[in-house]
Each structure stands twice: as C-alpha cells, then as structure tokens.
Amino acid sequence: MTDSTEPSGARIRFHNVSKRYGDVAALADFDLEIGAGEFLTLLGPSGSGKTTALNILAGFTEASGGDVRIDGQSILSLPPEKRNVGMVFQSFALFPHMSVFENVAFPLKLRKTPKPVMRDKVAEALDMVRLGDYAGRRPSELSGGQQQRVALARAVVFQPAVLLMDESLSALDLKLREAMRLEIRHLHSRLGSTIVFVTHDQGEALTLSDRIAVMRDGRIAQIDTPDRVYDQPTTRFVAEFIGQTNLFDVTPADGGGVHVADLGVAIPAEGMNGAKAISLRPEKIRALANGSDAPDAGMVVFDGMVDEPLFLGETVQYSVNLPSGRTMQFRENRGEGRAPLRRNDRVRLAFRPHDAVPIVRD
Amino acid sequence: MKHFKGKALVLAAALAAAPLTLTAGHASADDVTITVAGSGGGLAKVMKMLFEDPFTKETGIGVKALATTDRASALKAMMAAGKPTWDVSELSATEYAIASANGWLEPINWSKLDPKNTLPAVARADDAVVVASYSTILAVRTDKLPAGKRMTSWADFWDVKTFPGPRALQNQPYDNLEFALIADGVAPADVYTVLSTKDGVDRAFRKLDEIKPHIVSWWTAGAQPVQMLSDGEAFYTSAWNGRITKLATEGTPAAIVWNGGGLKLSYSAIIKGTKHGDAAHAYLSYLTTSPQRAAAFAKMVPYPGFVKGLYDELPAEMGRHLPSHPDNAAKQFATDAKFWAANLSELKERWEAWLLE
Amino acid sequence: MPAADRHSILAAPGLLLLVTFFVVPVGIVFDQGLFDPAFTTAHFERFLARGAYMAVFLNTLRVSVVVAMACLLIGYPVAYFIVRQPPRRRPVLMFLVLVPLWMSILVRTYAWMVVLGREGIVNGLLMTLGITDQPVKLLFTTGAVYVGMVQILLPIMIVTCYSAMTEIDQNLLRAARILGARSGQAFARVFLPLSLEGAVTGTLIVFILSMGFFITPALIGGRRDMMMANLISSQVSQTNWGFAAALAIILLLATVAVLVAARLLTRRLVYAAAKTDTP
C-alpha cells in the first residue's frame, strides 16, 4: 500500500464556509487550508463547530454558504459516496450483521473491485491493523480497540485521498487511547493521506497533529503547529483550553512595558505591544531558594504563600496565594535539591520575561 | 394507665366481635340473599329499581344481581363443577331450552309462585317462568318504499321486484328458516311442523337461496340492523322490536311489521341445587305476577311479560307497540325454543355451509 | 442457600403466572378437544368432513396473510419515514400513529361503516364528482374487511418497525454512504437487513392477531368473510365445547406452524442480506 503508484493525500480548502441552524451559526466564515498529506486536528469544546465542519466535508451536512474544494475541485454538490473520503466514526459504526471481512470489503465491493484483488486488499488492510486472524469474527465478538482498528482498516482499504476521524478515540479507555495514538501516527506516515481529525482532547491533538486548528463558536481561534499553539497562544481561550496556564490582566506601564497588578511587577517592553493579558505556564515559573535572588538578572520576581501542594508523580504542582488575593499555579520537578514546600510556606517565585506570552484577544 | 388499658380492651373486643355479628346476621334463616344472573347494563338498573330493591324491602330477602353473558356455557361449567353459584338466572329462549333439556333447572311449584293464577299457560313452563317477551320482526325504512307501496309481510320482503333495495338478516338459522317458510306460503302456526322434516328444511333453504344475493349484511349483534336502517345501508331487515320502536321515536322513519314476527320468550328459572328455593320462588313471584309492576317495567323496557291485566295498566298507544299485545301476538308465531335446542347445532352447521356457498 | 435455588425462587412468580394463565388454559382446551370423555378424534373428523369449515379455515389464513402483508407494505415505509424525521418531530408523529389504539376496535369498525356505506363518505364523494350515479358496494365486502383490519392493526406494525429502526445507529448509514454506497444501496445493504427482524416480528404479530379476528369481519364483511374466531364463538354459545376446542386447537397449531416457518425463513434472509462476498 506504500508503493509509488499510491495516490498521496489531497489538498482541502474551506472557503468562507458557514452553517446556520435558524439563528444559531454553527460555523461562520470558516476558512481553512489543509495541505496534501497533512494531519490536521480540529480541536475545540462541544458546540465549537468542529464536527459541523467535518460533516460538511463528508457530505452529511449541507453548508449554508461558502465552498469546499478537494484538490481544487468543489465537492459541495457531490453526495458522500462520490467524495472519495474515508471516515472513522466515534461509535466505529461497524455493520453488526457483517463479519470483519465483510465490513472491510464493503467499500471495495461497492467499487466493483474484482474478487481476488478485493481479498488481497482486505487481507492487507487487516494485517496493517494486526487483525489478520479476525476476518471471520462478528464486530460484537471484538474488543473496543479491535473494533476501532477494523473501522480504521475499513476507512482506508479503498485508499481515499482524505481520511476523516470524528472523536475516533474517545470511546476507548485511557491506556488503549494512548496506544492507538501511536498506531494512527504510524498509519498516517505509511498511507500518506490527508487526515482531518476532530477531537476535544488536547492531548490527542498535541501528540498527533501536524497542525491544530483550535475552534470556538464556529470560528478558528488559532491555527498553528502543536508547539506554537501551546507556547504562543494568542487568545485567552486558546491559552486556557490547551494545557494549564495562569492568566493575568495587564495594563500598559510607563516606559513601554506592561504592569501586572496581581503580581505587583512590571514586564519590560519586548513584544508586549497591545497585550491585554499575559499567559504564564505553571512549568515556566520557578521557586527561588530561601531569600536568594534570581539566578538571572532579567527575571521577574514576586512573592506568594503556598496554599496546596499537589503530588503528580514526576512533578509537584503548587497552588500559591498572591498578596492580591488571587491564586496561581506553578509546577516543578521533584528533587530539585531543596526541601519540598509545605502549606503556608512563604515562597519567592520568578519567571523569564519572554515566557510571559502576551494575549492580545479574548 | 390502667384506665387506658381497660378502654383498649373494650375496643379490641368490639372490633373482634364486629365481623362475627355480621356473619351471624347473614346466617339467620330469615335473612337470605339470592344470587340472580342477569344481563347487566341499563336493564340491570331498571331491574334493581322496580323489582330487586322493593322486593328486599318487602321480604327482607337480599338480591345480588350479576351481569352475565352466555349463560348456557356458564351453567354447563357450574354443573360440571357441581357447585352452582347462582340461585336464579335469566335465560333466553335458547338458553332455557338447553338448560331445561340438560336438567339444570329446579321444577317450579306453581301454587307457590302464582297462587292467584295471574299467568296464562304460555308463561308457565315446568321449570321456568316467562318474564318478558320480544319479537324478531320485519323492520322497514318507510321513506325508502316505492311510492304508494306498503310492505306488510315476509312475502313482500322476498319480492325484490316490487320492493327493490338492500336487505339484511341475522346470521343465524333460527327465525330465518321460519321467515322463509312463511314467505313461501306456510301458515305461521304450521311452521315447526314443516321444519321438523328434512323436506321442510330443504324448502326453507331453497327459499333463502332466492333472497341471498339481495342480503347485503348478515348481522350478528342487535345494534347492527338499527345502525343499517338509520344509515340507509339496508332498507328492509329483520330486527328486535324494542330497538326499532326506539329508532322510530328518535326520528328515523322506521316501522315494524308484526305480521310473521317471531315472538320469543325470556325466562327466569331456579338453578338446580340452590339452597334458597323458597326465596327464589318468592322473588320470581314478585317479578312476574303483578300487572302494576309489569306495566311499570313495560313503560321503561319494551319487552313485556304476560301477567293478566298488564294492558289495562298501560296507555293504549304504548300497548300497541309491544309484542305481547293481543293484536300483535295474533299475527306472530311463537319461536319454538325446544325445537331449536334440539336442532340448532345441525342446522347451524348447514347454515354456515350455505352462507359460504 | 445456593445461588441456583435463590434464582429458581425468583423465577417462581413468573412461572406461576405462566402456568396459571397459559399452560393450564391451553391444557384445558386440548383436553376438551381430544377427550369426550375418552380420547376421540371425532371433533377433528367433523372439521375435516365439512368443506365449509375448511373454507372458513382457509379464508382465515388468507385474510391474515393479506392483512399482514398489507400492514408490512404500508407500515414499514411509514415507520421509515418517521425515523428519518428530525428527533423532535418523531414523538409527535408516533403519537398520531398510536391515537387510534385508544379507540375500541368496535368503534373503529363502525367508523368504517360510516366511511364505506351506501350513503357514506366515499360514495358521497364519488357521486358528487359524478364518477358514479349509483352507490358502489364497498361495505360488506372482503375489501372492506381488509381495509378495516389493516387500519386497526397498522399502528402495531408501525410501532414494531419503528422501535427496531430506532435501534439502528444512524452513523451506520452515514458510514455506508461515505464508504461508497448510494442512498439506495445503503438502505438495501445496511438498513434493510438490520430492520428486517423488526419487520418480520411486526408482520407475525399482525398475522397472529388477524388469525383471531372476530368483530371486524362480522360487522363489515360479506357472508363469505367468516373467520375461525366467529365459528368458535358460535360453537361455544351452542355449548359445543368439544368442537369449539378442536377448532381452537387447529387455529393454534396453524398459527404456530406459520410462526416457526417464518422464523426459519427470516434467519436465512438476514443471513443472505448480510453476505456481501457471495458471487
């Protein structure tokens, strides 16, 4: 399936796509370009429009406006079966009255694939998901993870240029979910098809994707690579939705920087133009040894009192009360050569100015 | 505390004694309750008001009325179980014939039931008393008659040339075989003589063959012919007299042809094995031997009994519409319940086969 | 107490009900039909000897098959239509389907008399439109029996089909579509086989109920539209219990035979419909 004659993934372009249900806009001015062979994740809470976008791409939902193109060709007037798109559903949607073999053979049979070719392709697809020995079983006789893999095999057996995955891992338990992430990654590099993955799980999005489009209220709040979405959120929503963070309102300070009222500190000017707030990841904050100064002269230093230590295994997360009354979080590795902090310990904290990410929009 | 205890004891004793007292009351010889199997519905209300309640008031004998259907089957089951739970039962003519033939009824002591001889012979059987009568008559939608014509007999009913239009009959061999013979010229009084021969039955079925294509519906419930007449579904049909009188008073132009009607008797009888024979006799006497009570009943339900003096107690106009009125009774034949009890099974089989032909 | 004993105690009330209200009555019917008082086949011989009884039996079978098939052909698409409606509209439509069930069969049958009668709605319309100048005979015909029975039994068919269809994950149809099936193919290969059991169950329920139908054929049928139940009732009221029981046994056995045959056939059908790799 990986030889040179394989079609590689297709380019997908959403152009100003909108979908309204009465007065409610499920999708508004949705613009998105997905490269050939790219693994793109639509990430967002429920109701953010990610599933609507996917259903419009699949042909299950009609767009109210705009256009969707695959490899330059508009597909909105095509029925789902003409779009050459594979899909893995959250519920797997395996046909319960068919065997595993019949499920995987289903798309080939509809394409009138000759019998011997069909048998080979089904066998190959099942081998790829390591279910070669299960061809004769019924879906109900398989575990959740096995059903998931059959659904994958069925979605890719006809070599679609685009593979859609709708919350495809959320029906599995945690361990299986993590194992499947690797398997999907592997599959993606092997198949080369464009994958559009919908999830509300930021962990899945971060590990799997080439790019993540974070969605909110029918629009893309931010689209970027996983590390940039994590490190450089541009909106409060993205900063809070992905990972954990501390958000502080800021006001412009004399001399060009910003003033953080909650911390009682100022941050120098660099990159802070127009910032309404800053995002400060818990792992970017360090606790200083008792009474000592910052190890680095440029660091911003402030004081607080430990409220609640939270043991996370490798790391400990502390909840800290600030003099302003607010609470914030910081995290450090265990065994930093210092006795662990306890409740009501006074603590001096510091961060590098460039670790404070300016938030320019809500 | 002691005081309270004493009161509680008295109370407990009273409570414990209460059911005993009641049971004792029931067990006393004078305080009998008889169980009467009736038809339920509106008729049961009339029976309770006119007969059961006043009877209990007068005699102290209680009457427990049951709403029942298919009493022949019920009696068969009771007799098979050896434990009749009814003391008295209303019986249709057919039910009476079956029950009588099987010996499920107590003989009537007529000197006890009717000491003043108010009931004519027609109302007296060895093991039952006639309490009511009704007729299966020819009912006519008078507005559907051809101009200037009147339908007056079963021969007219069979005459589809003079009287075109849809007809209906009951889905039963009884009445219809008699009607067919009468239409064929047999005198009402001779109907059962003719029917008791194979030739007579054949003759009746041959006559029915003539009318069969013109019968749109073979009705099974008494409400159907009424409905069909009022909807114009049938212009001429056999029907039960009381329902047609009611239909006419409600404004449908419907009339009864008494000529050739089949007068049927409804019986009440005492069930074999009852422990309350005297009370049952007293109840049946109360039920059947007073012209005043019979008239009150006939005013509410057009199915009168036979007690002497009944028509003196009724307005003439009302009496005219009742099946046992001397004028009407004279034109009808009395359905022979014993003939039908003996032959129904066989004739019904033939009837069903004939219908399907 | 061992677990097995506890379980059998829990099953006891159900078993008691079953024995009291099913096994015992059916046993009594068999006893009545076969012993009088010694073992006899006389009642069954009587049934076979008379062509008329066989005709009633065959008529009962024919009416039941026609009504069951008609209910299937009308009820299945109706249920399918309702299942495809937006979720908010479905309970409303199902409610409308179920409303007639709250009316007695007698009332509904009388309503058909009003509709189909000589001076009824249909004839009135036909005559007003000048299609006919004489009333057409619609009432008291076999056709009227079919129409009346189908109308009475249709809700049961629709409910049975509907509940089977709502069990089907709608994503299965979407999956079939995106895997390459046209909407007709998705229906034929996925929806139909998965709803077949429900459709067969509904058809069998309607068939069984039809076999015992009584009021409607008597009220709006013609003289030939006699059913076994009419025959049984007439024999019971004549106190011919032995023969009535024999008729009931014949009806019961015929119904069970059809039931078993249909079940066997369905299993094959579902299996065949699921097979996508057979030549």
Taking only the tens place, the pLDDT of each residue in C53-66 is 999 999 999 999 99
Interface test with C, best of A81, A83, A85 (most C CBs within 10 A): A81
Residues 6+ apart with CB under 8 A from C2: none
Smallest CA–CA distance from A163 into chain C, residue: C178
- C4 to chain B, minimum CA–CA distance in Å? 39
Nearest CA-CA distance, residue B227 and chain C, Å: 9
d(CA C192, CA A279): 55
Sign for the pseudo-dihedral over CA of A293, A296, A300, A305: negative
**What is d(CA A265, CA A281) in angstroms, rounded to the nearest whole number?**
17
Residue type, A142: L
Indicate the pLDDT class of residue B323, thresholds 50, 70 and 90: very high
A290 versus B245: which is more confidently predicted?
B245
Residue B326: what pLDDT? 85
Q: Calculate mean pLDDT across residues C93-120.
A: 90
The pLDDT value recorded for residue B208 is: 97
pTM of the model: 0.78
Looking at the complex, report in whole angstroms how far the Cα of residue C140 sits from the nearest Cα belonging to chain B.
6
pLDDT tens by residue, B103-149: 999 999 999 999 999 998 889 999 999 999 999 999 999 999 999 99
> Greater confidence, C268 or C112?
C112
Take residue A152 and report the two structure tokens written for it: 């994958």
Mutate to test the interface with C, among A78, A82, A108, A110 (most CBs of C within 10 A): A110
- CA dist A251 and C62 (Å) reads 88
Domains and CATH numbers, chain B: 12-130+267-325 (3.40.190.10), 134-264+332-356 (3.40.190.10)
Confidence grade of residue A293 (pLDDT, cut at 50, 70, 90): low
Average pLDDT, stretch B339-357? 89
Answer whether A83 touches C (CB < 8 Å).
Answer: yes
Query: Which residue does chain C place closest to A98, by CA atoms?
Result: C274
Cβ contact (<8 Å) for C226 and B356?
yes
Task: Please provide the average confidence, as pLDDT, over all residues in chain B.
Answer: 88
Query: Span B265-286, mean pLDDT?
Result: 94
Residue B297 pLDDT more than 90?
Answer: yes
Nearest-Cα distance to chain C for B188, in Å, is 26
A21 touches chain C (CB under 8 A): no
Shortest CA distance from C191: residue in chain A: A95
Report which of A151, A146, A186 is spatially closest to residue A165, judged by C-alpha positions: A151
| Residue at B3: amino acid letter | H
Q: Considering only residues 99 to 158 of chain C, which have any Cβ-Cβ distance to chain A shorter than 8 Å?
A: none
Beta-carbon count within 10 A of A115 CB? 12
pLDDT tens for each residue of A181-218: 888 888 898 888 999 999 999 989 999 999 999 999 99
| Binary contact (C114, B224; C-beta < 8 A) | no
Pairwise CA distance, residues B304 & B263, whole Å: 11
Is the pLDDT score of C4 beyond 60?
no
Mean of pLDDT values over C198-213: 94
Residue A141 φ/ψ, nearest 5 degrees: -90, 5
User: Closest to A110 (Cβ–Cβ): which among C180, C273, C274?
Assistant: C180
Chain A residues within an 8 Å CB radius of C274? 95, 97-98, 102
C270 touches chain A (CB under 8 A): yes
With 60 as the cut, is the pLDDT of residue B18 above it? no
Q: Tell me the pairing of strands B167-170 and B215-219.
A: parallel
| Contact assignment for C238 to B345 by CB distance below 8 Å | yes
Contacts of C277 in chain A (CB under 8 A): 101-102, 105, 109, 115, 118
In C, which residues are within 8 Å of B348 by CB distance?
A: 234, 238
Ordered by where they begin, the domains of chain C are 45-277 (1.10.3720.10)
Q: Residue type at B153?
A: S
Residues of chain B contacting residue C56, judged by C-beta atoms under 8 Å apart: 352, 356
- In percent, the amount of chain B with pLDDT more than 90 equals 69
In this predicted model, what pLDDT tens digit does every residue of A217-261 receive, in sequence order? 999 999 999 999 999 998 999 998 998 899 999 988 877 788 898
Q: Given an 8 Å threshold on Cβ–Cβ distance, is A106 in contact with C174? A: no
Question: Around Cβ B345, how many Cβ atoms within 10 Å?
Answer: 14
* Shortest alpha-carbon distance between residue B73 and chain C (Å): 6
DSSP-based three-state secondary structure for A162 = strand
Residue type, position C147, single letter? V
pLDDT at B47 over 80: yes
- Structure confidence at residue A224 (pLDDT): 95
Residue A2's pLDDT is 42
Residue B4 has pLDDT above 70, yes or no: no
pLDDT on residue A290: 67
Q: Say if residue C186's pLDDT is above 90.
A: yes
Distance of CA C271 to the CA centre of its chain: 24
Question: Using the beta-carbon criterion (under 8 Å), do C276 and A98 form an inter-chain contact?
Answer: yes
Residue C114 confidence (pLDDT): 87
What pLDDT sits at residue B357?
Answer: 81
Inter-axis angle of helices C105-116 and C142-166, to 10 degrees?
130
- Which pLDDT score, from 0 to 100, does residue A62 have? 93
Distance CA B141, CA C163 (A): 50
What pLDDT was estimated at residue B27?
A: 38
Q: Report pLDDT for C275.
A: 56
Q: What is the mean pLDDT of residues B32-50?
A: 90
Task: Tell me which chains share at least 3 CB pairs under 8 Å with chain A.
Answer: C
* Confidence tier at B7 by pLDDT (50, 70, 90): very low
pLDDT at B339 over 70: yes
Task: For residue C264, name the pLDDT band (cuts at 50, 70, 90).
Answer: confident
Mean pLDDT of B279-307: 93
Residue B277: pLDDT band (50, 70, 90) is very high
The residue that leads in pLDDT, C223 or A7, is C223
List the single range of A11-20, A103-112, B29-38 with lowest mean pLDDT: B29-38
pLDDT at position B16 is 40
More confidently predicted of A326 and A2 = A326
Q: Could you give the 3-state DSSP secondary structure of residue C120?
A: coil
Neighboring chain C residues of A60 at a CB cutoff of 8 Å? 174, 177-178
Rounded average pLDDT over C127-146: 91
Examine the pLDDT at B20 and tell me if it is beyond 60.
no
Chain C hits for A102, Cβ within 8 Å: 274-277
CA distance A84 to chain C (A): 8
C6 shares contact with chain B (CB less than 8 Å):
no
Q: Compute CA distances B85 → B208, B275, C37, whole Å.
A: 42, 10, 25
Residues from chain B that touch C140, judged by Cβ atoms under 8 A, are: 216-217
C240 or A123, greater pLDDT: A123
pLDDT at B6 over 60: no
Question: What b/e readout covers B215-253, taking b as 16+ CB neighbours within 10 angstroms?
Answer: bbbbbbeeebbbbbbbbbbbbbbbbbbbbbbebbeeebe
Name, in order, each residue with C-beta under 8 angstroms of B100's C-beta and a sequence gap of 6 or more: B125, B126, B127, B128, B269, B338, B341
Average pLDDT score over residue span A84-110? 94
Determine, for residues C110 and B227 on separate chains, whether the beta-carbon distance falls below 8 Å.
yes
Model pLDDT, residue B25: 37
Q: What is the pLDDT of residues A301-320, one digit of tens each?
A: 898 999 988 888 888 899 99
Q: Which C positions 48-67 lie with beta carbon below 8 A of chain B?
A: 50-53, 55-56
What pLDDT score does A291 carry? 62
Report the residue of B79, B91, B143, B216 to disrupt the C interface, i.e. the one with the largest count of C CBs within 10 Å: B216
Q: Which pLDDT score, from 0 to 100, does residue B8 have?
A: 43
Contact exists between C and B (3 or more beta carbon pairs < 8 Å): yes
Q: Which of B212, B345, B352 has the CB atom closest to C52's CB atom?
A: B352
In terms of Cβ atoms closer than 10 Å to its own Cβ (0-12, 13-18, 19+), residue C27 is exposed
pLDDT band per the 50, 70, 90 thresholds, residue B10: very low
Chain B residues with beta carbon closer than 8 angstroms to that of C104: none
Of residues B268, B266, B239, the one with CA closest to residue B254? B239
- With an 8 Å Cβ cutoff, are B231 and C120 in contact? yes
Q: Spell out which residues of chain C touch residue A59, defining contact as CB-CB under 8 Å.
A: 177-178
Give the 3-state secondary structure of residue C91. Answer: helix
Average pLDDT over residues A53-60: 95
pLDDT at B23: 38
- Calpha distance A99→A134 (Å, rounded): 9
Cβ atoms of A168 and A88 closer than 8 Å: yes
Mutate to test the interface with C, among B92, B217, B227 (most CBs of C within 10 A): B217
pLDDT at C184 over 90: yes
DSSP-assigned letters across all residues of A316-356: EEEEEE-TTS-EEEEEEES-SSSPPP-TT-EEEEEE-GGGS
Confidence (pLDDT) at A268: 80
Interface mutation vs chain C, best among A75, A98, A118, A150, most C CBs within 10 Å? A98
pLDDT digits (tens, 9 = 90+) for C8-53: 778 888 888 888 888 998 998 999 889 877 888 989 998 998 888 9
pLDDT classification of C235: cutoffs 50, 70, 90? confident
Give percent of chain A above pLDDT 70: 95
Give the contacts of C20 (CB within 8 A, at least 6 positions apart).
none
